[in-house]
Each structure stands twice: as structure tokens, then as C-alpha cells.
Chain A
Amino acid sequence: MGRISIWWDQAADGPTNMAADEVLAAEARRRVQPLVRLYRWDSPTVSLGAFQPIAEARSLGIVPGHGMVRRPSGGGAIVHGTDITYAVAVPAGHAWSRSPEVLYRAVHRPLVAELVSRGMDARLHEDGDAPSRGIADAFFCFSRRSPGDVVVSTGSAGDPPADAKVLGGAQRRQSGVVIQHGSLLLRSNVTAPPAWRHPGIGDVGLAITDDGVDLASAWMTRLATALASDLDWEAGPFLADHGRRTEADAALVRYREARWCERR
């Protein structure tokens, strides 16, 4: 039986979270097993996909150095603050690393099962991207639909569509490891400009605790079961380990640099 190790990590700023995930990938390579980090952000932050143009971000009022960070993974921008973010690192050779679709489905399907068990009409999105209607729609992850996203029925018809995307993901595939980022949107972020807001799982009929911990814990338990693996909840912050902290410090410099944040 395999193992999957999970950290419930403390909230941190954008560059620290990205650096920690880079170290998570290195740790997954060393341990040759899947690792998961669940975390929040210590202040409202927009994370951009690896190659989203900075000019588009600026046109929406997103400014480098002011609650903005660029992820190493692809995909659209995410407004963090009312979500639970995850990073899953999977070493090469593991069954989950075979293709982007395999990993999306492996991680997201257990959440669908948990939501359905709680009475939600939830499913994995199976079609291609939904058409975008404007720059904000194209820019934000939760305005897009890709295969493997988790969507739930809102019970209403018309335009916008009756489905709400509550979990999306993006990957970085490197030699020896794949890292997948994802965001489970708990509630709409009412502190963000209206064009940046999207309904969360708590806005479309699911009763959840303020922090969403019960839902995320149940999801992770189902994830381990699906992998037929023992689930290890790791104690303490991920970067409390001295070696990992040292590794992260080196990466942290890069994620804070304008050269990275404004690379495109």
C-alpha cells in the first residue's frame, strides 16, 4: 500500500506559498510519493498563470508587488482569500503523472464524490473551454471551464450558465515531477472588485464551516482511499523543517523579483 502525505499549512504571502510548493515538488521527488499541501493566503492575493500577460493584469487593476504573485503553473488568474488552495506534487513514474487529464481527474473526482454525498449536483466538467465574453472572463480561472474542473448546478437557468465552477486547477510538468495547483472557492470574495468575483461552494447551497476545513478533510480522505494509500497528516508547517526552509529561501527571491512577476 502506498502513502500520501498532507500538510495543512499556515497562511503565507504569495511568494512564500509559491516557493513552498517548489520545495514540495523537490520533496516529492526525494520521497518518490505524492505529497499535498493545503493552504491559505495571509492577505488578499491574485495569482497569475505562468504566462498570463502582465499588461492584461494591469488593465484589470492587478499590480505586481501589491497582492500579486505569478505561479509556475499555467491557467488563469485566481483571486485568493476566500478559497482553500492546494498543491499536489507527484513524482514521475507514478500513475497520476501520466497525463494532465489523469491528475486532474484523480484529485478532483474525490471532491465531486464528497459534494454529491452532501446532496450537491456536482460533476467534473467534460467539455472544452467555455467561450469568453470579455477580458475579465478570459483572464480569471473561475470564468473558464476546462475538462477536470469541478462544477455544481446552481439551480438557475440562463446567462450566465446555471453551473458554477468551484474547483479549478493548473499544472507545471517538469523532469521528474508534476505539480498541480488548485483552488477550492468557498465563497465569493466580496472585498474584490465585482469583475473579479465568482460564487463559491458556500454560495450555491452547501452548508460549510467558515474555514471549509471539514469539507477539505473529507475530500483528502476520499483522495487517499481512491489511491489505495495510507493518509499521513503531517505535523507542523511545511517549511518548519530547516532544510526545506533553506531551499525555499532561494526560490523566494525569484518569486519576489520583477523579472519573474513581469516575465510576460
Chain B
Amino acid sequence: MATELRFAKTHEWIRPDADGLATVGISAYAVEALTDLVFMQLPEVGRRVKAGESIGEIESVKAVSDFYAPVSGEVVAVNAALPDALETLGHDPYGAGWIVKLRPDDPADMAGLLTQPAYDALVKSGQH
């Protein structure tokens, strides 16, 4: 797993890109927990979001789940192909299964999120 990934307690990951943007997706654990995905709604490009704000929804056979902005910023791109290829989330959640690209208001906010070992510990604890 790439060490530059950071995680929100709500199971989103975020990775800083070289161009000052950040890529966001949902963790392999979350994808596996959702099971049998059937629909996804992405945010609009250009939308301003606050950390912790719902930016989209994923429907599986048995539940609709929100996903959240890990940091505040502007949505500058979405993975428009993803809703028609939801299996990509399961196959490659940290690569081709990316969901949005954000321009963070303050890139330093990412440092306040969980590291991979801390996120793994959270999942293992069941307190999420």
C-alpha cells in the first residue's frame, strides 16, 4: 500500500498529487463491506465542499451509503466512468477506482488524517 495515503474515519482515502490536487476514493475495507454495488452518484465538478460533508452516495443491494470529503476544497474532476463500471471499486480501489479529485483549501489538512497503520487499527477495533 502506498504510504502517502491518508484515511478518514468514514473510510475515504486521499492521496496528494504532484499538481497540487488530491485524489479521493473509498477504502478496500469499505468496498468489501458494501457488497454488490448497484448505483453511484458523484458530486458536480466545481462544487465547494467542507471536510466531513457528504459528496456522493453509493447504493448496494442492501444499503445506501454516503461518502465524505476528507478535507475541505473544490471538486475539480470526477471519475465519470465509475458509475458504469462499479466493479472497478472492488478490483482497484486505490487506482482506477478513484472517485474525485479535489483542490484542497489547505494541503496540510491531509496530515491530520489517519495513516495506513492507524486506519487498519481502527478497522480492526470495530469502533467505526
Query: A98-B126, A99-B33, A175-B52 in contact; A50/B66 too (CB < 8 A)?
Result: no
- Is B59 an interface residue, CB under 8 A from the partner? yes
* A174 touching B63, Cβ below 8 Å: no
Task: Tell me, yes or no, whether A146 is within 8 Å of chain B by CB.
Answer: yes
Q: How far is the CA of A129 from the CA of B39 in the complex (A)?
A: 17
Per-residue CB contact flags for chain B residues 75-103 toward chain A (1 = under 8 Å, else 0) read 00000000000000000000000000000
State how many angstroms separate the Cβ of A40 from the closest Cβ of chain B.
24
Q: How many A-B residue pairs have CB under 8 A?
A: 60
State which residues 144-160 of A face B: CB under 8 Å: 146-148
User: Which residue of chain A is the closest to B68 with respect to CB atoms?
Assistant: A175
Instruction: Return A140 CB to nearest CB of chain B, in Å.
Output: 15
Q: How many B residues face the partner with a CB closer than 8 A?
A: 21
B63 with A100: CB separation less than 8 A: yes
Bound-state Cα–Cα, A97 to B77, Å: 32
* Interface size, A (range): 20 to 34
| Closest Cβ neighbor of A104 among chain B residues | B62
Q: A175 touching B10 by the CB < 8 A rule?
A: yes
Given A51-B41, A92-B128, check contact A171 B68 (CB 8 Å): no
Binding site for A on B (CB under 8 A): 10, 33, 35, 38-39, 41, 52, 54, 57, 59-66, 68, 126-128
